[in-house]
Amino acid sequence: MTRPRILIADDHSIVLAGLMKLVEGEGQVVGAVEDGRMLVTEAQTLRPDIILLDISMPLLNGLDAARQLKKLVPESKLIFLTMHATPTYAAEAFKAGASAYLLKRSAASELRQAIQAVMRGQHYLTPLITKDVLAAVLHSAPGESVPHRPPTALTPRQREVLQLVAEGKSAKAIASILNISVKTVEFHKARIMEDLGLHSTADLTRYAIAEGLISL
């Protein structure tokens, strides 16, 4: 089997360094980035065989980055390596186009297994998440067992604005990042608060943290 070209994304430099060392026996690391937007940019340039990414990343979370990547570089296989162990996150990752889902507390050997599996065209789910529970989440009705509106109920642009607001970016900074007007940013923020039933920037931040869009 040809050694795959691998692009890694994680917002912790030490984790990045460790991952690069860990996967070098399975493939060629062609790049390493620390935020979701740079990941999307580099993926289009490098066209890697495998993209190893986290869910909680600055500027653009891994789930929304994955949705963009599946459109922009559909040939790249996505492997999530994250701290989020709930089946709901795993389900959303596979819906977004993931080929594998592992936890950061998984054994190192699992990552090698996942890489080999996705290169054979298979999917891989860490045994740390019960497959039966994941299947139930994947096949549940929209909104079932969810007491509030999940981030997926928002539009992709609203999720981008929500994450950047929660990261403490000003309306002007968000406008610059997303290449939209400040007025449009404020409009999206108001709609998000209305749709989620939230009333302040602090509420939005707490929601984003709880939903894994950003990490502390």
Residue 172: which CATH number? 1.10.10.10
Look at residue 135 in the predicted model and tell me its pLDDT. 64
Q: Residue 196: how many CB atoms within 10 A of its CB?
A: 19
Per the DSSP assignment, residues forming a β-bridge with 31 are 7
- Provide the domain limits for residue 108: 5-138
**In-domain check, residue 61:** yes
Q: Residue 173: how many CB atoms within 10 A of its CB?
A: 14
My answer on whether 64 and 171 are in the same domain is no
Check: CB of residue 46 under 8 Å from CB of residue 30.
yes
pTM for this entry: 0.76
pLDDT tens track, the chain, 216 positions: 578 999 999 988 888 888 999 898 889 999 999 999 999 999 999 999 999 999 989 999 999 999 999 999 999 999 999 988 877 788 889 989 999 999 988 888 999 999 999 999 999 999 888 665 556 555 655 444 434 577 878 888 999 999 999 888 899 999 999 999 999 999 999 999 998 888 888 888 888 888 877 765
What is the rounded distance in angstroms from the CA atom of residue 52 to the CA atom of residue 97? 13
Q: Count how many domains the chain has.
A: 2
